[in-house]
Each structure stands twice: as structure tokens, then as C-alpha cells.
Amino acid sequence: MEKKKVVVGLSGGVDSAVSVIRLQEMGYEVEGMFMRNWDSSINNDVLGNPHTLDSVCPQEVDYMDALKTAEELGIKLHRIDFVEEYWQRVFSYFLDEYRHNRTPNPDILCNKEIKFRSFLDKAMEMGFDYIAMGHYARIIHLDNGDVKVLRGVDSNKDQTYFLCQLTKEQLQKALFPVGDLEKKEVRRIAKEHNLTIANKKDSTGVCFIGERNFKEFLKNYLPAKPGKMETLDGEVVGEHDGIMYYTIGQRKGLGLGGAGDAWFVVGKDPQRNVLLVGRGSEQEYLYSNRCIVSNVNWIGEEIDENKTYLAKFRYRGVDNEVKLHKLENGCLEVSYVNKAKSVTPGQAAVFYDGEVLLGGGTIEDVYMNNEKRRY
């Protein structure tokens, strides 16, 4: 019987490297593909988009690590350029959301548009049967062609939150070889196979752009509009660099001190270009009990409005018990069984039935009872 062909998104990290090892052990014919999605040297003449050159991207270092891993594992490595697709489908949206004073999650869109669209299309064009990623998630391919996505075994590394916008068609061609492992086991396997990157630090920061001083990075693309910081009572307590650079619940980087509890961002007033702040992490204005979610992608069974589901409103956030109500415009009204903190427009609301990922959407408006929060 002919072996199934799988191409792994080889990022230069340990998770994708161990994905290759596990697939080889399962009997697949494996190759790697390195995605080049960001180019620090791009200027207006290349993509026709005005933006300032920024610092050297670490992506070339990752490519060399991926190349070394491919050599050590005896697989072919392809290098594919998706720079233009990333700019048009991910980064432009990312900037537009910030212009509207919302807090987007580019990693979710990156999965939807690059890793499981551009990458997947290229893999199918090249004759592969599946693509594989080093995501901490589990996928079950059912006999009827359907799929179920479950949280990764390592709850500290679970990445199903970032998969909430994937369609069943995309998932049917996907494998997640390390989803049933804990991170320490992944590193053990890498060391066992004498991989150079076995102890490489996990990547952080924006998808494919990396770890940076985020405010300074954004200033390259979105000019700052300084303004005042006020309390909910209207007292001016400081100045901000531009309300787009701050998110609800943020504590660090406000430049406010003095005796008493720490200051937190509790809201925004875009019309006046005012950032709303308050003392203490338990500010009542940070809490809500209802939100409206748009752009809903659903891969689970039909919604039961009498059932209690689980929702995450941030990647590292806790599970919240919620009820879901379908609105005529295609949005979901999400009512929390208990209050939730710092639910932020532009971020993703991701839904689960226990361990099973059901889908997700974009938080639009946030309410406490019938009062709309100024987020």
C-alpha cells in the first residue's frame, strides 16, 4: 500500500520537528515546508503599501534552524514565500482593527488564511495528502469524513483557541502529531533524537513577526495620537500615547503611579480620544455578563440554546460557562452564567463542549445587563 504523503509546517522550533518524528514513526512519507511570511526589507515598491522599515526579522534564523532539523531528520525542506498573502489577508486586517481602537488576534487569522489556506493550497498542488502542524491540539478524523478537534493534552500549551476560525474542509486535511503530548515529552523526544533545536526557546509575539516592543512596532504603521487619561468620573490623571495601543484590563505601560492600588485600563472614549482608567484590578467596570459575537465559525453540532457551553474570551483566559442565542443577523448573543472580566471587542470568543472545540467568532459589543461598556 502506498504511503500517505504529509508536509509539515517546519518552523524551526521543537514542536514541528517532533511532529516530523512522530509522523515518520506512524509510517507517513514526510517532507517539510518553511513559510516565509514577513520581510523586514519590504518597501512601498514591493507591495504598494506605505510602511516604514523595521528591525531585522528573526525569521531567517528560524529558516536555518528548520534547514538543520530537516537535515538531521533526513527529509526534504521546501521554502515557500507567502509575504504578499500575509500582508493582504492578515496584517492589513490587523492594522485596520487597531485603527478602529479594537484589539485583534492576528494568530487566529494567520491560521485561517496562511497556515490552513495558502499553505494547504500549496501542499495539495504539490501532491500531498495532508498538512501537519506542531499545534497542541488533537484531531479525530471520523469514518464519515467529519472531524472533531479536541483540546491539547497539555492544558498549558493548548492552542485550539487559535483554530476557532478553521472550517471542516480545512481540518479534514490537517494532522496535529504532538497534540496528545505534554511539552516536556516533546522536548524529551527531541533530545532523544539529538536535534540541535531540542532546547530552543518557544516563539512568542505576533504570528510570523515575532517578539518585539509592540507599541514601537505599531508606531511604524499607525501614527500616534496622544490624548488624556481620565477616570470614569472625568478626572484627568495622565496622558496616553494613542488609545489604539492599549487594551482593556492592561496594567503595565500606563506611566501612572502614586499611593494606592495600581491603575488599569477600564475603557475607551474614541470620540474624545480619551483612555479611561481606574485603580485596582477588581474595578466593577472591567466586568460584564453578556456580549455579542460576530463572524461566527461553527464546526460543532447544532447549537442547543438550553445547553450550557464553555467560552474562552482570551487565549490564557479561564473557561466561562455561557448560554448561546442565535440572532437573526448571524451573530451570537453570549450570556455568561457568572460575570467575566476584561471581555474585549476585537478579541475572539471561542466555544467548547467540554474538551471539544465548537468554533468561535469576534467580540463586537460588551454589556453589563443592559449597559453597553465603553470598550
Check residue 358 and give its pLDDT: 98
Within a domain: 219: no
Q: How wide is the angle at C-alpha 49 spanned by C-alphas 361 and 33, nearest 5°?
A: 65
**pLDDT tens digits, one per residue of 128-141:** 999 999 999 999 99
**94 φψ region: left (φ > 0), alpha (ψ -120 to 50), beta (else):** alpha
**pLDDT tens digits, one per residue of 306-320:** 999 999 999 999 999
Please name the residues in contact with 241: beta carbons below 8 A apart, sequence gap of 6 or more: 215, 224, 226
Q: Which amino acid is at 166?
A: L
Q: Check whether 274 has a pLDDT greater than 90.
A: yes
Within a domain: 46: yes
CATH number, residue 186: 3.40.50.620
Contact (CB, 8 A) for 366 and 298: no
**Residues 58 and 137 grouped into a single domain:** yes
Check residue 323 and give its pLDDT: 98
**Residues 64 and 202 grouped into a single domain:** yes
Residue 346 CA from chain centroid, whole number: 12
CATH number, residue 352: 2.40.30.10
Pairing of strands 174-175, 348-353: unpaired
Pairing of strands 356-368, 287-298: antiparallel
Check residue 103 and give its pLDDT: 84
Please state the rounded mean pLDDT for residues 333-358: 97
Q: How far apart are the C-alpha atoms of 67 and 241, rounded to whole Å?
A: 41
Three-state secondary-structure class, residue 85: helix
Q: Check whether 124 has a pLDDT greater than 60.
A: yes
Check residue 342 and give its pLDDT: 96
**Residues 11 and 107 grouped into a single domain:** yes
Q: Check whether 173 has a pLDDT greater than 70.
A: yes
Contact (CB, 8 A) for 197 and 13: yes
24-28, 200-204, 240-244: least confident range:
200-204
Q: Check whether 58 has a pLDDT greater than 70.
A: no
Q: How far apart are the C-alpha atoms of 14 and 73, rounded to whole Å?
A: 12
Check residue 53 and give its pLDDT: 41
**Residues 196 and 329 grouped into a single domain:** no
Residue finishing a domain among 161, 185, 214: 214
**pLDDT tens digits, one per residue of 279-293:** 999 999 999 999 999
Task: Tell the burial category of 180 from Cβ atoms under 10 Å away from its Cβ (0-12, 13-18, 19+).
Answer: middle
DSSP state of 43: -
**Residues 271 and 146 grouped into a single domain:** no
Please state the rounded mean pLDDT for residues 234-247: 94
**Residues 17 and 87 grouped into a single domain:** yes
**Residues 266 and 155 grouped into a single domain:** no
Please, which pLDDT band fits residue 205 given cuts at 50, 70 and 90?
low
Looking at per-residue confidence, does 44 or 218 come out higher?
218
Secondary structure of the chain: what % helix, strand, coil (to 5)?
Answer: 25, 30, 45
Q: Check whether 31 has a pLDDT greater than 60.
A: yes
Q: How far apart are the C-alpha atoms of 334 and 307, rounded to whole Å?
A: 12
Q: Model pTM?
A: 0.90
**Residues 29 and 164 grouped into a single domain:** yes
Mean pLDDT over the full length of the chain = 91
Concerning whether 331 is annotated as a catalytic residue, the answer is no
Please state the rounded mean pLDDT for residues 323-349: 97
Which member of 110, 164, 291, 331 is catalytic?
Answer: 110
Which residue segment(s) compose the domain that 304 sits in?
286-372
Number of domains in the chain: 3
Concerning whether 110 is annotated as a catalytic residue, the answer is yes
First to last CA, the chain: 57
**Residues 261 and 160 grouped into a single domain:** no
Check residue 207 and give its pLDDT: 53
Which member of 57, 164, 207, 291 is catalytic?
Answer: 207
**Residues 18 and 167 grouped into a single domain:** yes
**Residues 262 and 197 grouped into a single domain:** no
Residue 258 CA from chain centroid, whole number: 35
Contact (CB, 8 A) for 39 and 84: no
41-55, 101-115, 220-234, 332-346: least confident range:
41-55
